[in-house]
Amino acid sequence: MQRLAEIVGQSSTPVANDVERGAIRKFAEAIGDPNPLYRTGDASGRVVAPPTFSLTLDHGKLEGFDLKTDGLIHGEQEFNYGKPMYAGDVISSSMKVTDVYEKTGKSGKMTFVTLEQTGINQHGETCYHNIMKIIIR
């Protein structure tokens, strides 16, 4: 807990992610969404990414934030959308640790870590701002 509490407020260095048409199609297939916007595009032919596509992007690394997967639980997720992501866009993605706290439950102590993920396109427009809560047992 102490080590994690020390990184509250730290942000990763933004990572440039190329949004590729094939990756959008594969993601849409994986989530079972037949929407043609994710395959053939809109009226102008632009292929849009599904809203939760942001989960596939690289948000960078935070020094000192190395979590083991044993005992790790995805607690909750909040998606906030701005501009759509399209094939051909370059999304600058980063994450920030915004909170770390402990609670004691029936099975013992649990550490809660809140992460915020942000993606900004090549035009400087925010595409998403996600908030994720991770529980460490």
Can you tell me the mean pLDDT for 52-81?
90
Any residues with CB less than 8 A from the CB of 105 and at least 6 apart, and which?
none
Give domain limits for the chain. Answer: 2-19+58-136
- Beta-carbon count within 10 A of 51 CB: 14
pLDDT tens profile 40-50: 998 898 999 99
Query: For domain 2-19+58-136, which CATH number applies: 3.10.129.10, 3.40.1280.10, 1.20.1290.10, 3.40.605.10?
Result: 3.10.129.10
Indicate the burial class of 85 (C-beta count within 10 angstroms; 0-12, 13-18, 19 or more): buried
Residue 17's pLDDT band (boundaries 50, 70, 90)? very high
Instruction: State how far the Cα of 90 lies from the Cα of 134, in Å rounded to an integer.
Output: 27
**Sheet of 108-120: strands edge to edge?**
15-18, 90-105, 108-120, 126-136, 72-81
